[in-house]
Structure 1
Amino acid sequence: MRVLFRPEARAELLDAQAWYEAQAVGLGLEFARAFDAALQSARRNPDGFAEVEEECRRVVLRRFPYSLYDRVAGGTLWVLAVFHHRRPPSARQGRG
């Protein structure tokens, strides 16, 4: 399955990775690996995660307080958001 990112989601991912790397050398890479594991799980089993909105699913990252929000459309997995658990859900509205 093809994977595409909304620009906002790509920016959130890169910002989080940079923040963790600034906290400790190598921690940004660990965050990226946790994200990649969540993404691969979503690709393998796109209907296997909690639906939080119509056709939008949430995959919780291991070890980090972040979730990946995605939607499958036309054979493509769209990454809509990479959100810290303390951010209000309303900040994700309008992401498609």
Structure 2
Amino acid sequence: MRRVSFCEEARAEFDEALAFYTAERVSLGEAFVAAVESATQRAQRHPESAPVIRGRVRWMHVERFPFSVFYSLVDDSIRVLAVAHERRRPFYWFSRR
């Protein structure tokens, strides 16, 4: 199974969303973590099943939340480029590697 790594900006986006949901309700923050983990695990199990949206970047919806995980396949790993809110600036993260 491929290893998953987050770029610095994607990790910061994840942390920011987690802080928001945890402030609303601790269990909501926990659910967000579980949903992002589920999305990255789906990407690990079936890395090429997610649609390519631009270049070599693929996306996986985070269930129950208005977020998507955008990633690319790099050698034997999955590089998460963004944990992006689906209703905000599309492709703002596209220059990331």
| TM-score bucket (shorter structure) | over 0.9
Where 1:92 maps in the other structure, the secondary structure is coil
Matched ranges for 1:11-26 at <5 A: 11-26=12-27
Give unmatched runs, 5+ long, in structure 2. Answer: none
* TM-score relative to the length of structure 2: 0.94
- Indicate the residue corresponding to 2:29 in structure 1: 28
Look up the match of 2:44.
43
Alignment of 1:64-83 (within 5 A): 64-83=65-84
Q: Distance in 2 between matches of 1:55 and 1:43?
A: 16
Partner deviation per Cα, 1:18-69 (whole Å, 9 max, x = no partner): 1001011211010000000000000110110111111100000110000000
Gaps of 5+ in 1: none
How far apart are residue 76 of structure 1 and its match?
A: 1.0
> How much does 1:7 deviate?
0.1
- Give, in whole Å, the separation in 1 of the partners of 2:91 and 2:83: 14
Aligned residues: 96
Aligned-partner SS, 1:41: helix
Q: Partner residue of 2:89?
A: 88
Letter in 1 for 2:63: R
Q: Report whether the alignment pairs 1:2 with 2:3.
A: yes
Write the distance in 1 (CA, Å) between the matches of 2:77 and 2:47: 10
Letter in 1 for 2:71: D
The sequence identity of aligned pairs, in percent, is: 38
CA RMSD of aligned residues (A): 0.9
